[in-house]
Structure 1
Amino acid sequence: MKRMLVFSAHAADFVWRAGGAIASVCAQGGQARVVALSYGERGESGELWKDPKQTIERVKAIRHAEATRAAQALGASFECLDLGDYPLRVNDKAVERLIEIIVETAPDLLLTHAEKDPFNPDHPVTYQAVEKARQLATGAGVASAFRTVRPPELLLFEPHQPELCGFVPTLFLDITPVWEKKQKAMEAFASQGYLRQYYSERAAHRANHARRIAGHKNIERAEAFQRVLPQVVRSL
């Protein structure tokens, strides 16, 4: 039973980029914990701000409800650190909290954003904070004077425009069996409904790539990830 931990810069990022992976782990009896660093209340909730009487606190409440419903549709839990967005600032106290979460969860799989993104300043900040927390939570791979966990596999999920972010897929995941769950999770985010079509099309494109690589003709939807660390195996 695998344990997955997902760090999302904003409340909805995990759905678009890793919803299928989360649903796949949970469908196989695993556990998935989603932690958003912010609600994306300022820069990720444009539909909600069309209301002239809208407030920050109301947007946060709506986004929390949407993210919770989306996570439940995938079989995961959701929580938010509410650090604010655009810009997202992760101070030492927040990094310590990320370390605590990693140690508490002791994940087998750790997912977060790619290292670069010229269109979203919050995504690289999240990567840097998570990578630092991962190294500290695992004792940088050696025995330490504080509690550590076994190093999890670190995967970066696909940015909105991968070719401009230095993102090179090294893993394609077939999410065809859980595609309906990801669709339901995407539908939970009325605040960013315009992204549903884009990520539905992206899943179909990645499935095309996966079919050509693996020769499996029944892959209809897929998600792409990039490994940060080499895979260690006992045999080929």
Structure 2
Amino acid sequence: MTVASSSPAGLVVSAHSADFVWRAGGAIALHTRQGYAMHIVCLSFGERGESAKLWRQGNMSEEKVKAARREEAEAAAAALGATVEFFDIGDYPMRADKDTLFRLVDVYRRVQPEFVLTHSLKDPYNYDHPLATDLAQEARIIAQAEGHNPGETIVGAPPVYCFEPHQPEQCQWRPDVLLDITEAWDDKYRAIQCMAGQEHLWEYYTRVALQRGVQAKRNIGITAKKNIKYAEGYQSIFPRVTENLA
């Protein structure tokens, strides 16, 4: 659990307890290094659909799987320098009621994020992911409403960025932001290694970061001297307001 901070903050809404590591671990660690208070909400532990390695061990129960996944996620968040909380609303299928929505609204108002990271708008492979995005979006809107719990501090209009899904083409996800995470890569990889229940994804997301790093390097100005090796891709939902186009 996090509390309001005088530091700028960022919020990550993750459907399952490992999603934030694979898809946004670099952004979390990078912004922590820049002085941001990064907070993660895991809507579920991914106990049913994303813990196959644990279930194959035998003599396993849902509660044991949840406990193992919580331990992994807490260690990963610590490696990234972030705080984390768990809503435990279940997965495969994930369902969110009004109490869950208002709980997330409370997180928005408590954290006061400068930006929000969450899943792609579509994902035909995993319906939990767009549900998490819908929840994050609706909570953001309600957190801006003066009439919801009058007297509380509302949020502004934090930009929302969709992190990279496992199958981007089928999810209609196209990155318009390439974030250089080279300086934070070691932190992200330490977090990746915390997710023992999904070890088969360690190499995959290393390759993704390397590929996005190549693309990022090709898209910087010709006079830039940065040696980009690792990057993460994001798709913004809202237009960005800027004073120049450089």
Q: TM-score range by the shorter chain?
A: over 0.9
CA distance in 2, matches of 1:33, 1:175: 18
Partner in structure 1 of residue 203 of structure 2: 197
**2: distance between equivalents of 1:82 and 1:42?**
12
Determine the C-alpha separation between the residues in 1 that align with 2:157 and 2:106.
14
Q: Report % sequence identity.
A: 44
Task: State TM-score, norm by structure 1.
Answer: 0.96
For residues 201 and 49 of structure 1, the distance between their equivalents in structure 2, rounded to whole angstroms, comes to: 27
Long gaps (5+) in structure 2 = 1-6
Q: Contact (CA 8 Å) 1:2, 1:25: kept in 2 or not? A: no
Secondary structure at the counterpart of residue 53 of structure 1? coil
Q: Secondary structure at the match of 1:52?
A: coil
The reply on whether 1:136 has 2:142 as its aligned counterpart is: yes
| Separation in structure 2 between the aligned mates of residue 18 and residue 183 of structure 1, nearest angstrom | 12
| Mean Cα deviation higher: 149-158 or 171-180 | 149-158
Matches within 5 A, 1:13-52: 13-52=19-58
- Structure 2: which amino acid aligns with 1:171? V
User: After alignment, is 20-29 or 1-10 more displaced?
Assistant: 1-10
Map residues 60-79 of structure 1 onto 2, 5 A cutoff: 60-79=66-85
1:234 and 1:218 map into 2 onto residues whose CA distance is 27
> How far 1:235 moved relative to its partner?
3.4
The alpha carbon displacement at 1:234 in A equals 2.8
Q: Cα distance, 1:62 vs. partner?
A: 0.6
Deviation, 1:51, is: 1.4
Give 1:233 shift: 1.5
Q: Counterparts of 2:113 and 2:58 in 1: how far apart (Å)?
A: 42
> 1:144: Cα distance to partner?
4.4
Q: 2:229 aligns with which of 193, 216, 220?
A: 220
Compute the displacement of 1:80 (Å). 0.6
Alignment partner, residue 232 of structure 1: 241
Q: Kindly tell me the number of residue pairs found equivalent between the two proteins.
A: 233
> Residue deviations 1:35-83, cap 9 Å, x none?
1000000001111011120111011011001000000000001111000
CA distance in 1, matches of 2:55, 2:8: 39
Q: Which moved more, 1:209-218 or 1:4-13?
A: 209-218
Residue by residue, what CA displacement relative to the aligned partner does 1:203-233 show, whole Å, maximum 9, x if unpaired?
0010111111115561000000011100012
Counterpart in the other structure of 2:3 = none
SS at match of 1:152: coil
* Residue pair 1:2, 1:109 contacting (<8 A) in 2 also: no
How large is the Cα RMSD of the aligned pairs?
Answer: 1.2
Counterpart Cα distance in 1 of 2:205 and 2:14: 16
* Aligned residue among 176, 189, 195 for 1:183: 189
* TM-score, L = length of structure 2: 0.92
- Structure 1 residue runs of 5 or longer lacking an equivalent are none
Q: Distance in 1 between matches of 2:144 and 2:209?
A: 33
Distance 2:34 2:138 in 1: 30
1:121 has 2:127 as partner: yes
